[in-house]
Structure 1
Amino acid sequence: MPEWRKDPVVDRWVAVSTERAKRPTDYRPPLEQKKQERCPLCEGHEGDTPPEVLAFRKPGSEPNRPGWWVRVVPNKFPACRVEEDNKMTRKDIYYTWCGVGAHEVIVETTDHEPNLINQTEWQVAEVIWAWRARSLDLRRDTRLKYISIFKNKGSVAGASLEHAHSQLIAIPMVPAEIKEELAGVRAYREERGRCVYCDVWQHEAATGERVVVEASHFISFVPYAARFPFEMWILPKKHQRDFADIDEAGVRDLAYVLRESLRRLAWTVYDPPYNLVLHTCPVNDVAEEDYHWHIEILPRLTIIAGFELGTGYYINPTPPEMAAAALREAGKWCPEVISAVQEVRAGV
């Protein structure tokens, strides 16, 4: 029977449609059409982007020249700018805030490659280090209150460039979704005296029903009230409020769990478009010790329509337990399967 499931942190319900459950083979993401003849993110095209703000590169190589393996540049068409004044004005009932902030692109590889899963674990770890370095640097601007790190893979998920990249937008306010999570963790702490996210991952690890990948420091699982088919969360097992507090062992472990989770997603449902979002605590504000940072992987296999937009609730046609079982099973497949899938998706 269909059932409503409540997210353990925020006041959000999901309708899990067990009677019309969709299996992995029921999904056929649209084929991606190649659009660019010249990619501004490829090595050798450094002049096509604004000057880099960070690059991991070979010793002796010059800035804004070849020789890098991860490169961070300001977005050419930014949503906000560091040099703007931090002024808010009011006219009648309306408020306007100058567009202060930062918008950057993290180029995840030198090759024209749309998929992070085809990189080595070491390369994925370098991307994570770049996320951390930029988060630490940007928070020195005390006007900024939240640093959003995210990845859009595929045009359906909002990516305008094929080349594997993620983005960072630093803003002068705390997003409503993070405020809701902060309220949820505080309420849970007051009621039970514990971190809700710690309880969630420990419950998932104990039952194993929705676990996808588990390692020493991180675990990925399909959440109990998953909004999207094959949605996954990745949590650090150590209670840690700020992503930037991650250490070397954590980066190595996260690189493995992140890459393996994305690989299994690609193997299971035909390399779908997805959004990856990192949820972490606000910066330059009162320390939120109850918060627990995490990554959410949101496949774009269904369409967000009127019900979702009108209520903030979701309908998920694939039960989380079914999705997790399929993702675990994908780990037993021959890795070469992904190459065949990608060739079909590319129309080769």
Structure 2
Amino acid sequence: MPELRKDPVLGRWIIISKERSKRPTDFPVEKPRSGGGFCPLCPGNESFTPPEVWSAKSDENGAEGDGSGWMVRVVPNKFPALIIEGDLAKEGVGLYDKMNGIGAHEVIVESPDHEESFSDLPARKMQFVLRAYRERILDLEKDLRFQYVLVFKNHGKAAGASLEHSHSQLIALPILPRMIVSELDGAKSYYSYKERCLFCDIIRQEMQQDVRVVCQNERFIVITPFAPRTPFEMWVLPKHHQSSYCLQSDEELYDLACIFGEALQRLTACIPNVPYNFVLHTEPLRSGGTEYFHWHFEIVPKLTSIAGFEWGSGFYINPLPPEEAATFLRKSLEK
């Protein structure tokens, strides 16, 4: 019989339709795209992107500014969703509100190797990508026009990727995204009632039950959430309470890179060429730390379609229970 499961953070309901249950090989995925052609993100083509705003060089003697020798490179998006120049100019038009599209939109080029995917990055290389997220959020936080920085990745055409070269993006926003507001409200409501962090309680229960844990190390844990939107959805969380991603030390970022890479390797071992998105949810800028919110990454494979029922109701239909997904993921790297 199908189940209705309530997400404890957002309060949304998910339909787990076991009758539609599938094995990993039953999900259709796209074929790998063939290489070739001009790539503006490859080394040697730096002049075809806007000037970089941050980079990690391959050695301490790497050239300053745009040029060769980089491992990770961050540049403004050439076709930004929001622009950084100007004032917000908030105004009302009758009962409607509007403001100028002020923000920042940046591209994080994750490797100089055109063929190297994010999941294939060694931990030391992935650590620099994760460090780039931290450094760019800290820098954009200085701009008082911005309230939030959303880091996200689109992997695969079905997930919205427009370039083959592995990259992620961030957008600084002058308002809080609705999803973040909902998470903050859900977490704050739980804390007001129980005086404990909801995410910390989720981690404790998942570790005790051990049915939705995918992998873990000393500092981080990966779970399939109780009410996942899609098959093989995973959350990556710090085991100890932290509200801001920017508080991570370089050593912690290395451990995060190890567990993040393992989670994605398990996913791609289950479903080769799987398209997916991931997003970083951290506390709003200049919050100063909260006792009730817990930063985390959400990895959402693009394996089911959003159709009329989903759009009209807000419900997601997931054909694979998260307990079965966790079992597939745990066994995926076994020889």
Is the structural similarity TM-score above 0.5?
yes
Alignment of 1:1-348 (within 5 A): 1-34=1-34, 37-57=37-57, 58=59, 59-113=61-115, 115-285=117-287, 287-333=289-335
CA distance in structure 1 between the partners assigned to 2:100 and 2:53 by the alignment:
23
Which region of structure 1 is more displaced relative to structure 2, 90-99 or 70-79? 90-99
Deviations 1:150-169 (A, max 9, x none): 00001110110111100010
Q: Is the 8 A contact 2:191 2:198 kept in 1?
A: yes
Which region of structure 1 is more displaced relative to structure 2, 32-41 or 86-95? 32-41
Number of residue equivalences: 333
Q: CA deviation at 1:75?
A: 0.1
Following TM superposition, where does structure 1 have runs of at least 4 consecutive aligned residues deviating by more than 2 angstroms? 32-36, 284-289
Which region of structure 1 is more displaced relative to structure 2, 10-19 or 33-42? 33-42
CA RMSD of aligned residues (A): 1.3
Query: Could you state the TM-score of these two structures normalised by the residue count of structure 2?
Result: 0.96
Q: CA deviation at 1:288?
A: 3.5
CA distance in structure 1 between the partners assigned to 2:67 and 2:251 by the alignment:
31
User: In structure 2, the residue corresponding to 1:303 is in which secondary structure?
Assistant: coil
* Counterpart for residue 346 of structure 1: none
Deviations 1:143-185 (A, max 9, x none): 1000000000011101101111000100010111111111111
Q: Is the 8 A contact 2:40 2:46 kept in 1?
A: yes
Identity %: 47
CA distance in structure 2 between the partners assigned to 1:31 and 1:114 by the alignment:
16
Q: Is the 8 A contact 2:30 2:273 kept in 1?
A: no
Query: Could you state the TM-score of these two structures normalised by the residue count of structure 1?
Result: 0.93
User: In structure 2, the residue corresponding to 1:169 is in which secondary structure?
Assistant: strand
Q: Is the 8 A contact 1:145 1:285 kept in 2?
A: no
Q: Is the 8 A contact 2:131 2:250 kept in 1?
A: no
1:190/1:236 Cα in 2 relative to 1: closer, same or farther (>3 Å)? Answer: same
1:242/1:304 Cα in 2 relative to 1: closer, same or farther (>3 Å)? Answer: same
Structure 1 residues without counterparts, runs of 5 or longer = 334-348
CA distance in structure 2 between the partners assigned to 1:80 and 1:319 by the alignment:
38
Give the residue type in structure 2 aligned to 1:219.
Answer: I
Q: CA deviation at 1:284?
A: 3.2
CA distance in structure 2 between the partners assigned to 1:285 and 1:119 by the alignment:
32
Deviations 1:167-204 (A, max 9, x none): 01000101111111111111111221211100001111
CA distance in structure 1 between the partners assigned to 2:235 and 2:289 by the alignment:
23
